[in-house]
Structure 1
């Protein structure tokens, strides 16, 4: 950084220190974004992350001036917004960034990307500096500042250019670790938590209850008739049915409370609940299953007054579920009842 000014070097180094000294990555990014906004004398600064595989985007961090009338950028994130963001790369093609500091620059954007121009004007944004965040050649996000001080444009460009280079590496590592954590904790077919995380959750609840007791509910839900679907329609159809069952459960419970305990079996762990609340949620699941047309779930539950008894609750909910499954196959012999050990 021998060719940059002392002011720019100090700003960049301060941001590096924040990243290195803070173990909470998102908290550190909030501090960095606030620092960048203040340095730019801007009304808002945002870091937006892209998921190019899922064609989605989310705000990693943003900071707004206290006296701004701008809306938080998170308000604009909705289904289909990725398509809007995907046009930005072509707009800044041939340059490392986009700087709109006056009316002439805004008119350039008006000709190049009218939809983007209109959205900025609609939000009362009249100046913008934006840099892509890259991992290799892939754009994984953007960082920008709105309504900045145009007299600082040269300093802002140099500072953000260096800062973005550093952030690209940090954010790439963050996304990689986040992806690895997802792979290790989520069931890839359904998106709910996997059995390993369920076991960890059980151990954690037992340990926590030793300090402070609270009630806990457990629900087991097992697909009826999956074997018949696999045998007659194939395992792809069976996987679709499993995914559909998981989707029904996520309509009723938080996804982090749902675990795929086995091939066609799910468990739900609900801290601090009552029998009435559990019964109400089970009925909602049954109603949604009935509306689905082809999902039938055998369901069992148990509520204990102390979470340390979670293993007892798991066993009783499992027994309750198999009793429900037995009743189902007694009235639906065509579904080819499985033996319990299959």
Structure 2
């Protein structure tokens, strides 16, 4: 009971803790303005277990759902979450939106030459650079070596500068990225915006593979 509780309209409260399966307190179950103290305590205790099971099941569901939306290797959202978010992103909540489409160049070759652990380190490095500049809310790994980031209400020049900084730092680690950014004030079609960013990314990727030791023009699988 809390007879001194100074809340308008509430004369007293009876509350009991609701415990998770492991014994942790996850909630409080309470009744207000009761005149039958013992009866109400018995009633609360009778439903305590059911509420505890509800919170346990909800927590388990949330964990499973999060695992289904996260890329295990990088910690970014995966393609499932990406496809689920796209309709909401295009509803015009922001004054502008930028889509960044990014590719980790040479992943296939790195995997073949030094093993998949080396390729994983490359993907993790790219993901960490993305997180540090654009956060995780709208950052996705959508394929083996492809990433997409949506940046609301930022200047295009600022976003391109951040991408350039990323590229320089990753270059020092021996990695190369190609990227394209598409800026829209009025997003009439998310699909068109994403395709435009992807097209710019592939242009940079072709230029990368057509120079020096990366030249693929005489090899199978040229872009």
Whether 1:237 and 2:118 are equivalent positions in the alignment is yes
User: 1:225 offset after TM fit, Å?
Assistant: 1.2
What's the counterpart of residue 66 of structure 2?
182
**By percentage of residues, which structure has more helix?**
1
What's the counterpart of residue 202 of structure 2?
322
Distance 1:263 1:174 in 2: 31
Maintained 8 Å contact 1:205/1:307: no
Maintained 8 Å contact 1:299/1:324: yes
Maintained 8 Å contact 1:218/1:301: yes
Q: Structure 2 vs 1, CA of residues 321 and 339 (structure 1 numbering), >3 Å: closer, same or farther?
A: farther
Q: Structure 2 vs 1, CA of residues 133 and 236 (structure 1 numbering), >3 Å: closer, same or farther?
A: farther
Question: Can you list the C-alpha shifts for 1:76-114, whole angstroms capped at 9, x where unaligned?
Answer: xxxxxxxxxxxxxxxxxxxxxxxxxxxxxxxxxxxxxxx
Question: Can you list the C-alpha shifts for 1:273-326, whole angstroms capped at 9, x where unaligned?
Answer: 3212322321332243235x1332111111012122332221121111112112
Distance 2:87 2:221 in 1: 30
Correspondences of 1:1-342 after superposition (within 5 Å): 133-135=19-21, 139=22, 141-142=24-25, 162=45, 165-206=49-90, 208-209=91-92, 214-291=95-172, 293-334=173-214, 339=221
Q: Structure 2 vs 1, CA of residues 177 and 302 (structure 1 numbering), >3 Å: closer, same or farther?
A: same
Maintained 8 Å contact 2:71/2:141: yes
Maintained 8 Å contact 1:221/1:300: yes
Higher relative contact order (CA 8 A, sep 6+): 2
Structure 2 unaligned runs (5+)?
A: 2-12, 29-37
Distance 2:153 2:182 in 1: 13
Distance 2:188 2:220 in 1: 32
Distance 2:48 2:73 in 1: 35
- Three-state SS of the structure 1 residue aligned to 2:197 is helix
TM-score normalised to structure 1 length: 0.49
What's the counterpart of residue 8 of structure 2?
none
Maintained 8 Å contact 1:224/1:335: no
Aligned-residue Cα RMSD (Å) equals 3.5
Question: Can you list the C-alpha shifts for 1:110-135, whole angstroms capped at 9, x where unaligned?
Answer: xxxxxxxxxxxxxxxxxxxxx89443
Maintained 8 Å contact 1:222/1:321: yes
Maintained 8 Å contact 1:213/1:308: no
TM-score normalised to structure 2 length: 0.72
Number of aligned pairs? 198
